[in-house]
Amino acid sequence: MWFFIIRRFNLFILTVAILYFLVFLMMQALPGDFATNISGIQHPTSGQLSELNNAYQLDKSWFNQYISFIDQRIHGEFGVSFTTAQPIWQEILTFLPATIELCLYATTIALLIGFPLGIIAAVQPQKPADFTVLGLSLVGYSIPVFWLGVSAIMYFGLELQWLPVAGRLNLLYQVPPITGFTLIDIWLSDLQYKQLAYRDAFAHLIMPTLTLALIPATMVTRITRTAVREELNANYIKAFQSRGLSPSTIIYRHALPNALQPILSQLSLQLSTLLTSAMVTEVIFSWPGIGNWLIDAIYQRDYPVISAGILICAGFIILVSVLTDIMLIATTPKRRSAVDGSR
Amino acid sequence: MARANSIYQEESIPSPIQQIWRYFISYPVAVIGLWVFVILLIAAVIAPFIAPYSPHFQHTDALLLPPSWHPDGQVAYFLGTDDLGRDIFSNLLYGVRTTFGSSMLVTLIAAFFGIILGILSGMSKGLKSSILNHILDATLAIPSLLLAIVLVAISGQSLTNVMMAVCIALIPQFMRATHTAVQYELPREYVVAAKLDGANQVQVFFHVILPNILNALVVQTTLAISVAIIDIATLGFLRIGVPAPTSEWGTMLADGVDLIFIAPWNVTIPGLAIFVSVLAINLVGYGLQRAVKEGLG
């Protein structure tokens, strides 16, 4: 087993290296001076320029440049932003928690909705319940995130005035950002009205999380439905049925644990879709996260920030897919030969 | 296939495509999806002939008219007008061309390149396959929207650039689907049999594997169209997509957001258009998927 895990880890390094190379190529294709784009320092003085030359080996061959580019980025040196002139790594650390918070809650909701629905649809093939779930998931999957977000704002925010439409917390509550996660920060703060602050934070959370949760929920439903049904058609299930095991035992003790494998591996592939819709959701609800920051960077043509955003997002996706792979390999011997990396 | 115990000497066996078609039209929802799809296709072609007005013409005497079924609406402006007095219905019709038409085109181009690359990576072994796969993994890890945004940032805002960006974002998905399909078929017995008969790689692929993975590729293509529509509309919504004078559903929606208080139909109608077309394509894709499964499985 260790052989496979080490092999997968090597592949991870290789894939990340290729990702860095793609971003490196992109940096060279971008308009403007390469030294400026890679460091974020506009109009560098001669002293800064020689420093950059030193750090990124700009006078050497492209291969040296590529290696030192990786070296700088891995040590958290992402350069500075064009617009704010702040170190980008610092900015990432302030914006990332908001995105993680949003994605985490949305994924939890999606799993809580998608799993049961998928199982219900899977155990009743070709019945009304199956068709309803399938129809709902097809409809939900077809709704564009931005339309849903804007419609939610229009109805619940403006017409009914039930929920706040933008941001994470009312400005009345001065919560110092310690961890960056609002709910934890409120708990850590010495606010007088913690309960009111919590209620406000939750009100701010409802619309963005539900908007973001819709598409993952439909995906979880469909993946679960397919995977569980496939397991239920297997011969060992028939063997159990013939021995008179109750349907619930078969489903919960045998079919579901086995179906979890394909579900997990399929879900890790959907992560980039989740991040994409998270970016759009953040823009609509003015959520101060990575997505909002990145889209702003695009309007400002802030190239160092864009490249840092790609490295962080794609790196995160690759990391998660490798971790799921390793977890799957560790728990199922069957997968080991299939994931030997050469094919 | 012909049954020995049948009393009829001649039995017409429907070809695989006929079988798939029969199964497909037995799902009413999928057929509705297909109708909407065909209507959209026709609309994309004849938009200039059926649109009542030019999409850019500003009717200064008819600003922010609600849709015609509203008491204040006029039938002359069927779906109402926006804040510059542009007819929403005409805009929507021209938008079929940009949003729907260009996503069709983009998907076909992406399918062409993605499938070829997927075949190359699927049929090859060892180092070559490894290299292709890791490039694939790395590009697949970059969210498609982000990739599109970067390309637009590099080469500027125009319809061609947006299309190219979405195309490049779609190619890895085609590559992966083709790769998986080829890898699934490759070790199976009928392929081994063909190899033992002395078929070379090219023959194995075109005569043995391709007919069996074609269905998977068609389904993938249908689903990719819906992804392309959403991507193009999302780029338009974020205002980094198709530039201003061109009618595009996402951009129309983004323009409508400013008027959300006084003229909510400017948001609802373009959104509904995107939703209906994506839903139609997903229904067709789903119908095809099931028809292929039942017709061939």
Q: Which residue has the tokens 């109608």?
A: B269
Span A250-273, average pLDDT: 83
User: What's residue B119's pLDDT?
Assistant: 86
For the purposes of burial, counting CB atoms within 10 Å of the CB of B174, is it exposed (0-12), middle (13-18) or buried (19 or more)?
buried
Q: Which residues of B touch A295 (CB under 8 A)?
A: 149, 238
- Could you tell me which chain B residue has the CA closest to the CA of A273? B143
Complex-level ipTM: 0.82
pTM of the model: 0.85
In this prediction, what percent of chain A has a pLDDT beyond 90?
Answer: 6
- Which tens digit of pLDDT belongs to each residue from A241-256? 888 888 888 888 888 8
Task: Name residues 168-227 of chain B within 8 A of A (Cβ).
Answer: 183, 226
The answer to whether B236 and B58 are in contact (CB under 8 A) is no
Q: What is the 3-state secondary structure (H, E, C) of chain B?
A: CCCCCCCCCCCCCCCHHHHHHHHHHCCHHHHHHHHHHHHHHHHHHHHHHHCCCCCCCCCCCCCCCCCCCCCCCCCCCCCCECCCCCEHHHHHHHHHHHHHHHHHHHHHHHHHHHHHHHHHHHHCCHHHHHHHHHHHHHHHHCCHHHHHHHHHHHHCCCHHHHHHHHHHHHHHHHHHHHHHHHHHHCCCHHHHHHHHCCCCHHHHHHHHHHHHHHHHHHHHHHHHHHHHHHHHHHHHHCCCCCCCCCCCHHHHHHHHHCCCCCCCHHHHHHHHHHHHHHHHHHHHHHHHHHHHHHHHC
The answer to whether A141 and A215 are in contact (CB under 8 A) is yes
The answer to whether B209 and B182 are in contact (CB under 8 A) is yes
The answer to whether A41 and A52 are in contact (CB under 8 A) is yes
What does the alpha-carbon distance between residue B254 and residue B232 come to, in Å, rounded to a whole number?
13
- Could you tell me which chain A residue has the CA closest to the CA of B283? A138
The answer to whether B260 contacts A158, with C-beta atoms less than 8 Å apart, is yes
The answer to whether A79 and A41 are in contact (CB under 8 A) is yes
DSSP helix/strand/coil, A87: strand
In which element (H, E) is residue A26 found? helix A2-29
User: What's residue A341's pLDDT?
Assistant: 43
- On whether any CB of chain A is under 8 Å from the CB of B140, the answer is yes
Tokens of A322: 């490798």
A342 vs A277, higher pLDDT: A277
Residue A239 to chain B, least CA–CA distance (Å): 23
Span B45-63, average pLDDT: 81
Alpha carbon A246 to chain centroid, angstroms: 39
- Which tens digit of pLDDT belongs to each residue from A34-61? 777 777 777 777 777 787 777 777 777 7
* Res. A190 pLDDT band, cuts 50 70 90: confident
Q: Please choose, from the candidates A233, A288, A231, the residue with its C-alpha nearest in 3D space to the C-alpha of residue A254.
A: A231
Of B139, B145, B283, the CB nearest to A276: B145
Span B214-236, average pLDDT: 87
- On whether any CB of chain A is under 8 Å from the CB of B279, the answer is yes
Please state, in angstroms and as integers, the Cα–Cα distance from residue A326 to each residue in A13, A284, A335, B135, following that order: 14, 36, 10, 20
* Res. A339 pLDDT band, cuts 50 70 90: very low
User: What's residue B5's pLDDT?
Assistant: 61
The answer to whether B143 contacts A18, with C-beta atoms less than 8 Å apart, is no
Q: Which residue has the tokens 């579900």?
A: A263
Asked whether residue A337 carries a pLDDT value surpassing 70, the answer given is no
Phi, psi of B87 (to 5 degrees): -70, 125
First to last CA, chain A: 18
The answer to whether A313 contacts B253, with C-beta atoms less than 8 Å apart, is no
Span A134-159, average pLDDT: 87
User: What mean pLDDT is reported for chain A?
Assistant: 82
The residue length of chain A stands at 343
- Which tens digit of pLDDT belongs to each residue from B240-286? 877 777 788 888 888 888 888 888 888 888 899 999 999 999 999 88
* Res. A217 pLDDT band, cuts 50 70 90: very high
Span B201-229, average pLDDT: 85
- Which tens digit of pLDDT belongs to each residue from B87-113? 888 888 888 888 888 999 999 999 999
User: What's residue B211's pLDDT?
Assistant: 81
Residues 6+ apart with CB under 8 A from B128: B120, B121
Q: Of B123, B135, B149, B151, which to mutate for an interface test with A (greatest number of A Cβ within 10 Å)?
A: B149
User: What's residue A342's pLDDT?
Assistant: 38
User: What's residue B35's pLDDT?
Assistant: 94
Q: Which residues of A touch B134 (CB under 8 A)?
A: 11, 14-15, 18
- Which tens digit of pLDDT belongs to each residue from A86-138? 888 888 888 888 888 899 999 999 999 998 999 888 888 888 888 888 888 88
Helix A2-29 × helix B126-141 angle, to 10°: 60
The residue length of chain B stands at 297
Asked whether residue A237 carries a pLDDT value surpassing 90, the answer given is no
A340 vs B287, higher pLDDT: B287
The answer to whether A22 contacts B150, with C-beta atoms less than 8 Å apart, is no
- Which tens digit of pLDDT belongs to each residue from B192-209? 898 898 888 888 888 888
The answer to whether A138 contacts B233, with C-beta atoms less than 8 Å apart, is no
User: What's residue B20's pLDDT?
Assistant: 80
The answer to whether A321 contacts B141, with C-beta atoms less than 8 Å apart, is yes
User: What's residue A343's pLDDT?
Assistant: 36
